[in-house]
Chain A
Amino acid sequence: MLLIQCPYCAVERPELEFRYGGEAHIARPESPSELTDEQWADFLYMRSNPKGVMAERWRHVHGCGRFFNALRDTVSDRFLAVYKAGEPRPDIEAPEPTAPNKETGR
């Protein structure tokens, strides 16, 4: 089980207390009615899905209830940083090299 740090509770908690919320920092368009169908579809559905560092939303749903953001390395499944909603994305790159996790073999 993953242990995830909640930036509001300031403790590590088991993954079971959290819900995944998709990619972070996707701003809703200011004027949706002025968008083309392609632009709207892009906002709704298209995600970056990187192999490496990804900024994503999480919610501590069975704890403090807050949404927050996290940087997770999708290769190793390691959390690199967590930060409160509204704070800028930390400038963190994936640790090099992204070696397989010794404990899980992934």
Chain B
Amino acid sequence: MSEAPLYSAAGDTEAVLAAPGLRVSRTRPLARFAFRGDPAAAGKAGAAFGASLPMTPLAANRVSARAALWLGPDEWLLLAADETAAAIAVGMATALADAPHALVDVSERNVALLVEGEGAERLLNTQVFLDLDPAAFPVGMATRTLFAKAEIILWRLGDEAFAVECWRSFAPYIEGLLVEGARGL
């Protein structure tokens, strides 16, 4: 992984939770797209986007300030921190002109939380029912799943760092449960 930032914390005043060995932060806005298409369209989309769309289940491909996350056999989440969604969409629409696909701007729909620290796994496991041991959920793995009753996309950025992508209106619910869960760790 490159060190160029994709997610960046929105600032200290925006921290949801800051405790020894545990930190949950809101992040700055990103350009986000839901991409649907067959492998041929996905190939063209990756070339135009600058980060190829992974064909391996649960994989994420990050290139500098852009990333493509596998969500399903014909579905990906695209993230970019270095350009507006409108500008990216124009470039991709040109490259994909003759390939059936759907490219939907979901920049305003999603927000992301960063969950970091040695307690990140345990905190997430208060509401995420997946095995988050690095052997089962290694760095770079991304998946749609449930956080309590809210659907999220969970992406492991590092040994002790996760991104939680969720719909904007679910963020207060997730933040509340994370704060609540941290009290019980």
Which residues of A are in contact with B by a Cβ distance under 8 Å? 1, 8-11, 13-14, 16-17, 62-66
The answer for the CA separation of A65 and B58 in the assembled complex, in Å, is: 13
Q: Which of B71, B73, B130 contacts A13 (CB 8 A)?
A: B130
Query: Contacts A9-B57, A9-B58, A10-B57 given: A63-B144 contact, CB under 8 Å?
Result: yes
- Residues 46-86 of chain B, each 1 if its beta carbon lies under 8 Å from chain A, else 0: 00000000000110000000000001110100000000000
> Contacts of A1 on B, CB cut-off 8 Å?
129
B146 within 8 A of A: yes
Bound complex: CA A11 to CA B71 (Å): 13
B151 contacts A64, C-beta separation under 8 Å: no
CA distance A65 to B146 in the complex (A): 13
Residue positions of B touching A, CB distance < 8 A: 57-58, 71-73, 75, 129-130, 143-146, 151
Q: Which of A14, A62, A64 has the most CB of B within 10 A?
A: A64
A57 to B61, CA, bound (A): 31
**Is the CB–CB distance between A8 and B146 below 8 Å?**
no
Please state if A17 and B146 are interface contacts (CB–CB under 8 Å). Answer: yes
B146 in contact with A64 (CB, 8 Å): no
User: How far, in Å, is A15 (CB) from chain B's closest CB?
Assistant: 9
Contact A66 B146, beta carbon cutoff 8 Å: no
The 8 closest A-B pairs by CB, nearest first: A64-B72, A14-B129, A65-B72, A9-B57, A62-B146, A10-B57, A63-B144, A62-B151
Which residues of A lie under 8 Å from residue B71 when comparing CB positions? 64-65
Chain A residue nearest in CB terms to B151? A62
Which residues from chain A contact B75 at a C-beta distance below 8 Å?
A: 64-65
Contacts of B72 in A (CB 8 A): 8, 63-66
Residue on B nearest A64 in the bound complex, by CB: B72
- In the complex, A11 Cα to B75 Cα: how many Å? 17
CA separation between A11 and B136, bound complex, in Å? 10
Can you list 14 A-B contacts with CB-CB less than 8 angstroms, sorted by A residue number? A8-B57, A8-B72, A8-B73, A9-B58, A9-B143, A10-B57, A11-B57, A17-B146, A63-B72, A63-B143, A64-B144, A65-B72, A65-B75, A65-B144
Q: How far is the CA of A62 from the CA of B58 in the complex (A)?
A: 13
Q: Are B73 and A17 in contact (CB under 8 A)?
A: no
Say how far B70's CB is from chain A's closest CB, in angstroms: 8
B167 to chain A, nearest CB (A): 13
Please, which residue of chain A has its CB at the minimum distance from the CB of B136?
A11
